[in-house]
Amino acid sequence: MTTNRRQFLKQTAGTMAGMALLPSVFAEAPTKKLFFDISLAEWSLHKALFAKKITNLDFPGIARKDFDISIVEYVNQFFKDKARDKAYLNDLLTRCKDNGITNHLIMIDGEGNLGASDAAERNKAVENHHQWVECAKYLGCKTIRVNAAGQGTAEEVAKAAVEGLSKLGEYAKTMNINVIVENHGGYSSNGQWLSGVMKQVSMKNVGTLPDFGNFCIKRGENHTCAEEYDRYKGAKELMPFAKGASAKFYDFDGSGNCVETDYSRIMKIVKDSGFKGIMGIEYEGSGLDEYEGIRKSKALLERVGPMV
């Protein structure tokens, strides 16, 4: 009995000593970090927001508590009349502080065409964006995302967009805010066209927000894409001007890979460009619940990011 007890204690001590070594072994294992930070684009939750299940004020808390994401990207249409409402913005800031959230950018829609051929219309659009530059500054964002839309030939819209973006860029510069253009349909989804506009604007605070799943130039019936620009070519053309990136996801296969975009390929393009900024998750699929879609999107970025 005494011998068995002595053997038991000896074996236990040996096991405990072995376990004590484990933390140091794991501590020495190399951990390759992502070359970018991950943010959550509010549009990923647009169904819940439009259905009034959640509000813009809930967004910071959801990003942190549901997804453990600490950087967020707002969409102006979810607080459209609040750009200069200090009480509302202070409430939003309090929620950000309570959840350890960093505000990155605001996506701006519905404020007019910065590429409008008519000068009065274009200047009005520029003026309409001023409140969002101010709002971004107040919320601690670095950037607003705009569109470079307009009517006319590619050359006409490009010329107008250069003028509109330059004027808005000058105003935003006074507040240390970046103005970035997303490939968002029409001419802007042509990587060569948009990179050409950027070269003409040639301002440090004006750039692009490449959206990896938004290279449809022309829509057909039932909103299907009738003409699409090569997303890998487009990403390569737009990344040199990028001050952010939008990782768009629609569908996933059984292995958790994105069906429509080869993320290993596109993330290599991103890394090769020298980008080390913020990558925004924008889940827009219908096959999964929005929350599950966001989780799968994040898991894919975290898996592929260190491998490229």
Residue found under tokens 């999964």: 288
Q: Are 187 and 195 in contact (CB under 8 A)?
A: no
User: Could you read off the pLDDT of 248-285 as tens digits, one per residue?
Assistant: 999 999 999 999 999 999 999 999 999 999 999 999 99
Contact by Cβ (8 Å): 180, 244: yes
Q: How confident is the model at residue 15, as a pLDDT? A: 46
- How far, in Å, CA of 108 to CA of 164, rounded? 15
What string of H, E and C letters represents the secondary structure of 6-37? HHHHHHHHHHHHHHHHHHHHHHHCCCCCCCCE
Q: Which H or E run contains 143?
A: strand 143-146
Residue 242: C-alpha distances to residues 74, 201, 236, 237, 290 (Å): 18, 14, 10, 10, 27
The pLDDT value recorded for residue 11 is 53
Instruction: Kindly give the pairing relationship between strand 216-219 and strand 225-228.
Output: antiparallel
Domains of the chain: 36-239 (3.20.20.150)
What global pTM score does this model have? Answer: 0.89
Start-to-end Cα distance in the chain? 60
Residue 231 one-letter amino acid: R
Q: Which two tokens stand for residue 241?
A: 């001007």
In the predicted model, residues of the chain with pLDDT beneath 70 are 1-31
Stretch (H or E) spanning 227: strand 225-228
pLDDT at 31: 57
pLDDT at 223: 85
